[in-house]
Amino acid sequence: MTPSDPATGVRPALPDAAPGGAPRQDFIRQIVRDDLASGKHAAIRTRFPPEPNGYLHIGHAKAICLDFGVAEEFGGLCNLRFDDTNPAREDPAFVQAIQEDVRWLGFDWAELRHASDYFEVYALAAEKLIRQGDAFVCDLTPEQIREYRGNLTEPGRDSPFRGRSVEENLDLFRRMRAGEFPDGARTLRAKIDMASGNINLRDPALYRIKHMPHPIAGAGWCIYPMYDFAHALGDAIEGITHSLCTLEFEDHRPLYDWCVDKVDLAGSPDLLAPLSAKGLPNVAAKPRQIEFSRLNINFTVMSKRKLVALVGEGLVDGWDDPRMYTLQGLRRRGYTPAALRLFVDRVGISKQNSVIDFSVLEGALRDELDAHAPRRMAVVDPLKLVLANLPEDHVETLAFANHPKDEALGTREVPFSRELWIERDDFAEVPPKGWKRLVPGGEVRLRGAGIARVDEVVKDADGTVVELRGWLDPESRPGMEGANRKVKGTLHWVSAAHAVAAEIRLYDRLFSVADPDDEAGGRTYRDHLNPDSKRSVRGFVEPAAADAAPEQSYQFERLGYFVADRHDHRPDAPVFNRSVSLRDTWAAKA
Ligand code: ATP
Ligand code: MG
């Protein structure tokens, strides 16, 4: 039962609902709910533990929304912990970017920690294991260790060094730490069971020698703890109640539990002394690891290694290329935190491995922007339309609603004049069947301005249409009786005299096949890049779009959702990125 408030005797309601929504129902939240209800935990604590060796990607967004989201929903706390146990792969630049990404997604951490904060505790814990007879220093080479390990069908063999005395092990471990041996000469291994059916339990390494300074802990270290050991103890130190991770760690759970139980930090306050010295508060507790399935999305690659290669080989324009599935890339593409959180909610949490269709990601963005993005008009492939019956100097200002359904978004002024830019493909001299747009002599509605007709098609020497000349029905202006007659199509436009020339980047999916990781036929994901994933055109936008602040999203009517580029957009030289088209154009192709 939830502990009741001793002052009032009232049991607090379990805060298990998503803000403003129905409670999220998944097996992890159910476990948390049960643990709070049974009184197993008075409060919960989670953590998000990225390795600072790359930028976060959309898969991490799932983990972040879960780790931080569960803590938030149940009134708990979530730490951000950098798993910086491998100095060879880390770059402090990533540490900054990861923090920025987590905050951008809308979360904040209770405490910012690094696994390296605990190096001293890990070393004391290792000595404790040695003294208990639960760890030994092994001199086998990496190749020999592999050989001794056995495989799925064959049990492993004990290392000849397994029987070393506690004194010898302690002495060797301290000398490993003191830098007496070269890289790879010795390891500290857990003494568990070389015949275990779970290979992770066949005397796994806890420490290895690596003569390399650490970016935070400094030059004082030349032994580094292995992931399973460091992670389990890090969770215990921080009092993590629910340690949420992806399914590939399921087979590591017995080792995780072994480390937590054998070291027993809760029962050995002496091991935590180095933390008090550093002023790091700690709440030793026994954490529980719970695994969920990774996020996979078709048409994407999500391994950090491949994302690094795409950038390194110049196949994309950097980590924040709007086609990248890094959070930095998605952000620059126009994905909003709300859209990503909606996506993660729609995907849900389970133990079932699956591949999510890319349209689910695009659909979440479309739904989010449809509800919240103001509307604007822009032309990406401009063709001049002259309304020859208007006076040369005709200029007026029309009032347009910013959103068809949300009045709170207000209205804006849209200049209208005799010469307009319209979309080249909204005109056809010889229309195909079912054509509802402009043809010579035909009528069309100009959004919010009246009904127009084309009388004359002006061409250059090559026969390319360079201008349309026509007529605006003076009786068809908005609000007039004549505006009500039935006309097939409605076109968007911008006033040529007022339009601002803009660079418009028409992005599409980075890969053209559903499974870019498929290496059949010796091909790699590099061979599956979509050659049409980026096309840059010169178009025009209305003044109220040019004015945008960087990262402002709009629906450009009839074209799609666009965002003012975070870095390159300027009101006098606008740059817009297409975030997503209005409809799924890939459904038929996939
Ligand atoms: P990659 O495999 O891309 O290199 P990683 O798992 O090594 O990623 P970490 O920095 O270790 O990256 O990940 C931090 C957290 O994010 C871990 O808890 C990990 O389980 C989680 N995570 C990583 N990728 C995904 C994914 N695709 N879906 C859900 N969670 C993920
Ligand atoms: Mg990892």
CATH code for position 573: 2.40.240.10
Please indicate, yes or no, if residue 522 is contained in any of the structural domains. Answer: yes
- Are 515 and 557 found together in one domain? yes
Last residue of a domain, one of 465, 492, 519: 492
504, 577: one domain: yes
> Does some domain include residue 289?
no
Give the whole-angstrom CA distance, residue 547 versus residue 361.
29
Q: What pLDDT, on the 0 to 100 scale, is given for residue 20? A: 55
User: For residue range 78-120, what is the model confidence (pLDDT) as tens digits?
Assistant: 999 999 999 888 788 899 999 999 999 999 999 999 999 999 9
Among the bound ligands, the one closest to the CA of 52 = 1
- Give the pLDDT band (50/70/90) at residue 479: confident
Residue 589 reports pLDDT greater than 80 = no
Q: Could you tell me the distance, in angstroms and rounded to a whole number, from the CA of residue 548 to the centre of ligand 2?
A: 39
Q: What are phi and psi of 586, to 5 degrees?
A: -100, -15
The greatest distance separating any two alpha carbons of the chain, rounded to the nearest whole angstrom, comes to 102
- CB of 47 within 6 A of ligand 1: the answer is no
Higher model confidence: residue 3 or residue 215?
Answer: 215
Q: What angle do CA 476, 481, 483 make, to 5 degrees?
A: 35
* Claim: this prediction has a pTM higher than 0.85: yes
Distance CA 350, CA 183 (A): 41
**Exposure of 389 by Cβ count < 10 A (0-12 exposed, 13-18 middle, 19+ buried)?**
middle
Given this model, what pLDDT does residue 16 score? 42
Contacts of 504 (CB under 8 A, 6+ apart): 378, 380, 536, 537, 538, 539, 562, 575, 576, 578
Q: Which residue puts its alpha carbon closest to atom 29 of ligand 1? A: 294
Kindly state the average pLDDT of the residues 286-300. 96
How many structural domains is the chain composed of?
2
Give the CB-side neighbour count of residue 138, counting CA atoms within 13 A.
25
How many whole angstroms separate alpha carbon 305 and alpha carbon 142? 24
- Chain centre distance of CA 64: 9
Nearest CA to 300 among 361, 219, 239? 361
Q: What is the pLDDT of residue 93?
A: 86
Q: 81 C-alpha vs ligand 1 centroid, how far in Å? A: 13
In a domain, 477, yes or no: yes
Question: In the predicted model, is pLDDT for residue 492 greater than 80?
Answer: yes
Same domain, 487 and 449: yes
Q: Is 558 part of a structural domain of the chain?
A: yes
| Pair (518, 532) in one structural domain | yes
At 478 the pLDDT is 85
The answer to the question of whether 325 is labelled as a binding residue is no
Judged by its nearest atom, the ligand closest to the C-alpha of residue 350 is 1
Q: Are 447 and 491 in contact (CB under 8 A)?
A: yes
Average pLDDT, the chain: 93
Percentage of the chain lying above the pLDDT 70 cut:
95
Asked if residue 488 and residue 509 are part of one domain, the reply reads no
How many CB atoms within 10 Å of residue 321? 20
Just list the catalytic residues.
Answer: 51, 294, 304
Do the Cβ atoms of 171 and 130 come closer than 8 Å?
no
3-state secondary structure of 165: coil
Q: Are 302 and 58 in contact (CB under 8 A)?
A: yes
Annotated binding residue at 59?
A: yes
CA 60 to centroid of ligand 1, rounded, Å: 6
pLDDT at 377 over 80: yes
Given 458, 492, 526, which residue is the final one in a domain? 492
Q: Do 541 and 568 sit in the same domain of this protein?
A: yes
Nearest CA to ligand 1 atom 15: 50
Whether residue 302 has its Cβ less than 6 Å from ligand 1: yes
* Mean pLDDT value of segment 442-458: 96
Q: Could you tell me what percent of the chain has a pLDDT over 90?
A: 85
- Residue 24 binned pLDDT confidence (cut-offs 50, 70, 90): confident
pLDDT at residue 486 greater than cutoff 50 = yes
Average pLDDT over residues 186-201: 98
**C-alpha separations of 496 from 6, 418, 447 in Å:** 72, 8, 15
Whose atoms come closest to the Cα of 49: which ligand? 1
Q: Does 590 reside within a domain?
A: yes
Query: Which pLDDT does position 284 carry in this prediction?
Result: 64
As a dihedral over the C-alpha atoms of residue 375, residue 376, residue 381, residue 385, rounded to 10 degrees, the angle is 120
Rounded CA separation 479/422 (Å):
23
Residue to substitute in 48, 58, 60, 250 for testing ligand 1 pocket (most ligand atoms within 8 angstroms of CB)? 60
391 and 488 assigned to the same domain: yes
Query: Residue for token digits 């533990």?
Result: 49
Instruction: Say if residue 520 is in the same domain as residue 474.
Output: no
Beta strands in 204-303 (DSSP E): 205-209, 223-225, 242-246, 288-292
Query: Is the separation of the CB atoms in 499 and 542 below 8 Å?
Result: yes
- Which residue has a Cα nearest atom 23 of ligand 1? 60
CA distance 200 to 253: 9
Between the CA of 62 and the centroid of ligand 1 the distance, in Å, is 9
Q: Are 137 and 188 in contact (CB under 8 A)?
A: yes
In a domain, 267, yes or no: no
Residues in Cβ contact with 240 at an 8 Å cutoff, skipping those fewer than 6 apart? 45, 46, 47, 79, 285, 287
- Alpha helix (H) ranges present in 150-212? 166-177
Q: Which two tokens stand for residue 386?
A: 């002259």
Report pLDDT for 141. 96
Which stretches within 83-133 are classed as H helix?
A: 92-104, 119-131
pLDDT tens column, 409-439: 999 999 999 999 999 999 999 999 999 999 9
pLDDT per position as a tens digit, 155-184: 999 999 999 999 999 999 999 999 999 999
Whether 365 and 506 map to the same domain: the answer is yes
- Asked whether residue 136 is domain-assigned, the answer is no
Domain that holds residue 466: 378-492
81 lines ligand 1 (CB under 6 A): no
Is 110 a member of any domain? no
Is there a single domain that holds both residue 363 and residue 399? Answer: no
Residue 561 and residue 370: Cα distance in Å, rounded? 8
Distance (Å, rounded) from C-alpha 402 to C-alpha 352? 42
Q: Which residues pair with 398 in a beta bridge?
A: 414
Residues 392 and 370 in one domain: no
Domain identity same for 329 and 371: yes
Q: Say if CB 516 and CB 528 are below 8 A apart.
A: yes
What is the residue type of 125? A
Q: What is the DSSP letter of 317?
A: S
240 lines ligand 1 (CB under 6 A): no
Of 434, 465, 492, the position where a domain reaches its end is: 492
> Among 367, 368, 340, which residue's Cα sits nearest to residue 356?
340
